Structure 1
Amino acid sequence: MFLLCSRVYVQCSRYLVALCLKEAQRCQSTEAPLAKTSFLTGAPHRKHPGVTNLNIVRLPEQLQGTALSIIQRAEVKDLAERAHKLSNFLWSRKRALETSQLRKKAILLERTFLEEERDRHKDGNDHELEARIRKRVLSELRRTTYHRTTLRYNEDLGLVYMAARLAGGYAAIFRALNEIKKRDPLFVPYSLLDFGSGLGTGTWASHTLWGDSLKEYVCVDSSGDMNTLAEQLITGGSEIDNPVIKQVYFRQFLPVSPKVQFDLVIAAFSLSELATLNERINVIFTLWRKTNSYLVLVENATKEGHQILMEARDTILKGEEEVTYDLRRPAVFAPCTHELPCPKLIKQPIVPCNFSQFYYSLPLSRSQERQQEKFSYLIISRSEGEKAGKTEGFDMARLTAHVHRRPRHVQCQLCCTNGELKQLAVTARHHGRDMYRCARSSNWGDLLPINHAEETTENDEKL
């Protein structure tokens, strides 16, 4: 009887402890969301500090007017069709296969063909066998290996590129730069380096955001014809000495001095123009040495574009330069909220980390259509300002897919500060009213504060 009473007592004690723990965690889950009010800093939920999305982006009036005037004067034949083909070509473009990868592929093919040939011709001549295998390997490599075509941007192709990519490229760069302006309002750039400047969309986007402070723009593009077109866009299509943007200098090569730095460095859709990994690494190190505050990289929203950006990220974060002129450590500002391996590259199947921005196209046929630009981007900072995963002390997570708003909950895919990709159903009950309303007001690409209430819920269920 005594033993039975003891067991009942122990079970009752465990039950009471469990209830106390559960009640304590409930108190924590109700108190934590209240602190989120300070995250809003007085702003409405639809404009919370994590919002990075923009309304429909328009080209500056001077830029749009001049671009249309240049295109109309040139009278390019089949412009719309050629612009469409060029867009598709640039979107489907891949990196060239590296020599080491090609060699490995050839060795595997040689082993496979050697076994097949030996089974067919057991008594054949070794010299003839080797020749047949070599011929088959070369034929298979030609058939299956991606052949990269180098584009030479002359005046004609530059005009086609203007019709195809001016508005979309501007929208992607403007969206990336606007995140810096919003999250780091104290950043006031004086100088800009635009590598692979093309038509100068990076210069125009920077001027729109920081026109009053920027006093020097250096545009570097290997094509002299593209530099000429970009200069015409800035001067309004004429040769008058009153350009819309002043102090713009065009170069075909990067500045020689390694000690010259720029407050803002942009490379948009230009790393993908470099054929080999060594070329890209050399350029990335050069651009990073010339960065005083922010390095902004933008590429197509494809697997290739995303992987090129991750190459750049690893090169800067893990690579060691031979000579270092700036000892400040690099930090990922956006879109990553951490410096761990990208979870989208680890998870199978691989899906690129990309984002979207609506914009108005160049009205070539009297009508201006609303289109969507999909892009991938990377911002790395030297500044001592806000970290990517922290805003006013809150852990932030990046929304990496469309937000699905459902009755009483919001379904989100989040890239968190611990390097994990999570599916989270945000509810007012478990995450608090403020976080729930922020989630309903957020879109793909925005930042969202996380209070980890889902972990508390799991612990409740275990108890």
Structure 2
Amino acid sequence: MLPNNLHVALLSLSVSAVPLRNTFEEEPYMKRKVLRLSQTFNQIKDVNLQLASTTAKKIVEDPFEQSKRWKITSSYGDIGLIYRDEETNAYVASRMPAVYSACYRVLKEVRRRLPGFSPSKVLDFGAGTGSAFWALQEVWPKSLEKVNLIEPSQSMQRAGRSLMQGLKNLPLIHSYDSIQSLSKSITKSEREHDLVIASYVLGEIPSIKDRITIVRQLWDLTRDILVLVEPGTPHGSNIIAQMRSHILWMEERYRKSSRKNNEVCKDLITEKAGAFVVAPCPHDGACPLVKSGKYCHFVQRLERTSSQRAYKRSKGDPLRGFEDEKFSYVVFRRGSRPSDPWPLDGMEFETLKEQHAKRNPEDLEIDYEDWLKLQQSDDTPHEVADAETDIADDLETDDAPREVVNAVTYDSDDAVETDGPIDSEEDEEREEERGSADLGGGWGRIVFMPVRRGRQVTMNVCRSTKRDASEGSYDRIVVTRTKNPTLHQQAKRSIWGDLWPC
């Protein structure tokens, strides 16, 4: 669910940015703009697939071409998205809510994996109309002190400022046209940011060489966390996999070189040397999905705004009240991955037969007279039926021990949330009490939705195969109630994107 203030801002901007036309012409006009924007996205994606990976390209940053966001010179001619006011308004109406939802999901995952991390200085590359900024405000509303935005399109910058009008307690915000202009405006001591994010922007750059150059520049500006988010398509997932491989390879080479040059004085090697993946990968090895014919992505469900329902409707057919945004991402952190014990180390699980042999028959006795007295005040028959179902479930499954495994199940945010703040202080306290999974290699990631058939659950899990998390594999895990009722209870509640103990 979008924050209330963002929802109101989107509505006001969508109305104000549309040129003055008759009431009957406004909706078809916006539909044409949204359709044209979608065609531009598809055209750039098609060109990206045609470009050879080894072909050198050049990014041209022309401050006088204020209508162009990214102008790229290649053998196929100039490619890029042209964001004038009309195209920007179409983007806000059609794409901004989905981009915000994906960014919020990723940043919330960072907060869950790193509960002690609270960024004060942030860099948003390719900020657009501020989708990532709004997500940052929701996830870390109190810690943000300074935010640097890099966005070449003046129209996008104006739209972002318009959306922020009237907000209180904002951090100090500076906007720049390029990384070069940012570097000229700050000192060397101000270069590093606690968190750097680049969302839905690398796919607009067709050359792998240029993408790597930009990501390396962003990594140099990163003190702690770097977040990359792309659409959840084969092309977007491939971009994330390439950038992931390059950053890990570059930092591993640097660490080996530093260790070799400082054998005499090992203290010169800083704790921040190296890099590891915080999410979604549980390991730092080669991606096991690259050659599997599948691609790593996740899904975020969001409620459609009124403008989306109006402008995305085709041929008068009603739209669903929600949409599913597919996205791929990777989160890097400087330093070495912690060597924490794996969650299943030393755990002994009983089979269902062994648990039944140990249970006390008195525990299964239910005083139905007392139970019926409690239900006399409730006249709704469906509640009685639900209670009977709960009792039956308790008889079947509650004999399993409750805290044998400290498995961490993350909310996926797939359900549409209620109005009001996405995260209240009570929710944050509840998350802290529930605990968080460590960053060691003992926690795998569930990729794709688990399949439940009878008393067994089948999951596709990306997990580490070595204690140092240097290698990983993509495995299919089957959890049955007969062999392991405790893990079966966890598996039944697990969904796409959750962590799984290895």
| Residue of structure 1 aligned with 2:282, choices 314, 317, 337 | 337
Unaligned runs of 5+ in 2: 20-25, 57-74, 259-268, 311-318, 343-436, 466-471
In the alignment, the residues of structure 2 paired with residue 292 and residue 369 of structure 1 have an alpha-carbon distance, to the nearest angstrom, of: 40
**Equivalence for 2:358:** none
Asked whether the equivalents of residues 221 and 227 of structure 1 are also in contact (C-alpha less than 8 Å), the reply is: yes
Shift in Å, 1:351 = 2.0
**Equivalence for 1:355:** 298
**Is 1:411 equivalent to 2:464 in the alignment?**
no
SS in 2 for 1:229: helix
In the alignment, the residues of structure 2 paired with residue 217 and residue 388 of structure 1 have an alpha-carbon distance, to the nearest angstrom, of: 33
| Residue of structure 2 aligned with 1:181, choices 111, 124, 135 | 111
**Equivalence for 1:83:** 34
**Equivalence for 2:222:** 291
Q: How many residues matched?
A: 344
CA deviations over 1:13-53 (Å, ceiling 9, x no partner): xxxxxxxxxxxxxxxxxxxxxxxxxxxxxxxxxxxxxxxxx
In the alignment, the residues of structure 1 paired with residue 51 and residue 161 of structure 2 have an alpha-carbon distance, to the nearest angstrom, of: 36
In the alignment, the residues of structure 2 paired with residue 232 and residue 389 of structure 1 have an alpha-carbon distance, to the nearest angstrom, of: 49
Relative to structure 1, is the Cα distance of residues 293 and 164 closer, same or farther in structure 2, using a 3 angstrom cutoff?
A: same
In the alignment, the residues of structure 2 paired with residue 246 and residue 59 of structure 1 have an alpha-carbon distance, to the nearest angstrom, of: 20
Asked whether the equivalents of residues 113 and 278 of structure 2 are also in contact (C-alpha less than 8 Å), the reply is: no
Alignment of 1:158-307 (within 5 A): 158-236=88-166, 245-254=170-179, 255-256=182-183, 260-307=191-238
In the alignment, the residues of structure 2 paired with residue 292 and residue 302 of structure 1 have an alpha-carbon distance, to the nearest angstrom, of: 29
Letter in 2 for 1:86: L
Asked whether the equivalents of residues 192 and 222 of structure 2 are also in contact (C-alpha less than 8 Å), the reply is: yes
| Residue of structure 2 aligned with 1:435, choices 487, 493, 499 | 487
Percent identical: 28
Asked whether the equivalents of residues 87 and 164 of structure 1 are also in contact (C-alpha less than 8 Å), the reply is: no
In the alignment, the residues of structure 1 paired with residue 341 and residue 300 of structure 2 have an alpha-carbon distance, to the nearest angstrom, of: 22
Shift in Å, 1:82 = 3.0
SS in 2 for 1:346: coil
Relative to structure 1, is the Cα distance of residues 100 and 278 closer, same or farther in structure 2, using a 3 angstrom cutoff?
A: closer
Letter in 1 for 2:326: K
CA deviations over 1:250-308 (Å, ceiling 9, x no partner): 11122215651111111000111223122111111111111112111100111110111
> Which of structures 1 and 2 has the larger relative contact order (alpha carbons within 8 angstroms, sep 6+)?
1
Asked whether the equivalents of residues 97 and 146 of structure 1 are also in contact (C-alpha less than 8 Å), the reply is: no
Shift in Å, 1:210 = 0.5
Unaligned runs of 5+ in 1: 1-57, 104-144, 237-241, 451-463
In the alignment, the residues of structure 1 paired with residue 114 and residue 478 of structure 2 have an alpha-carbon distance, to the nearest angstrom, of: 30
Tell me which protein shows more helix as a share of its residues.
Answer: 1
TM-score for the superposition, normalised by structure 2:
0.63
Asked whether the equivalents of residues 84 and 164 of structure 1 are also in contact (C-alpha less than 8 Å), the reply is: no
Shift in Å, 1:429 = 3.1
**Is 1:444 equivalent to 2:496 in the alignment?**
yes
More divergent stretch after superposition (193-202 vs 272-281): 272-281
| Residue of structure 2 aligned with 1:379, choices 331, 339, 342 | 331
More divergent stretch after superposition (399-408 vs 368-377): 368-377
* Structure with max Cα Rg: 1
Relative to structure 1, is the Cα distance of residues 368 and 407 closer, same or farther in structure 2, using a 3 angstrom cutoff?
A: closer
SS in 2 for 1:304: helix
TM-score for the superposition, normalised by structure 1:
0.68
Letter in 2 for 1:274: I
**Equivalence for 1:397:** 444
Relative to structure 1, is the Cα distance of residues 294 and 439 closer, same or farther in structure 2, using a 3 angstrom cutoff?
A: same
Shift in Å, 1:80 = 3.0
Letter in 2 for 1:433: P
